[in-house]
């Protein structure tokens, strides 16, 4: 029974660290671009788009599809970078042990 109490206390400590990490991640950002910097996206650690910049020369009314593809590519790259950032932070907290359901 002692071991269960110890385990419960450790789980609560990890939970508190995860909550702190989530708050910190909300303040961190990643930047990703597509088309050689024609479309740039900044996303925070909560996977929210903070800003987007589109260079005027990529805006071609005759080729909206290319712009859409560049925006999608930049967003996906930013999301991938956020996921990597989250995994790195989680590894620091859990010592590399995968804990399902935390993220």
Tens of pLDDT, residues 50-86: 999 999 999 999 999 999 999 999 999 999 999 999 9
User: Which band of pLDDT confidence, cut at 50, 70 and 90, is reported for residue 41?
Assistant: very high
The CA-based dihedral angle spanning residues 58, 32, 20, 4, taken in that order and rounded to the nearest 10 degrees: 130
Average pLDDT for 23-41: 95
> Which residue shows structure tokens 């590519």?
73
Domain spanning 29-94, CATH architecture: 2-Layer Sandwich (3.30)
> How far is 73 from 67, CA to CA, in rounded Å?
10
- Can you give the pTM of this predicted structure? 0.75
Q: What is the SS3 assignment for 81?
A: helix
Where do the structural domains in the chain lie, given as residue ranges? 29-94
């Amino acid at each position: 029974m002692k071991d269960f109490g110890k385990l419960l206390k450790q789980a609560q400590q990890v939970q508190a660290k995860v909550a702190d990490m989530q708050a910190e991640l909300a303040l961190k950002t990643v930047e990703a671009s597509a088309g050689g910097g024609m479309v740039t996206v900044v996303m925070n650690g909560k996977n929210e788009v903070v800003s987007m910049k589109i260079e005027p020369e990529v805006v071609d009314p005759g080729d909206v599809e290319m712009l859409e593809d560049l925006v999608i590519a930049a967003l996906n790259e930013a999301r991938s970078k956020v996921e990597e950032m989250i995994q790195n932070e989680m590894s620091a907290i859990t010592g590399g042990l995968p804990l399902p359901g935390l993220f």
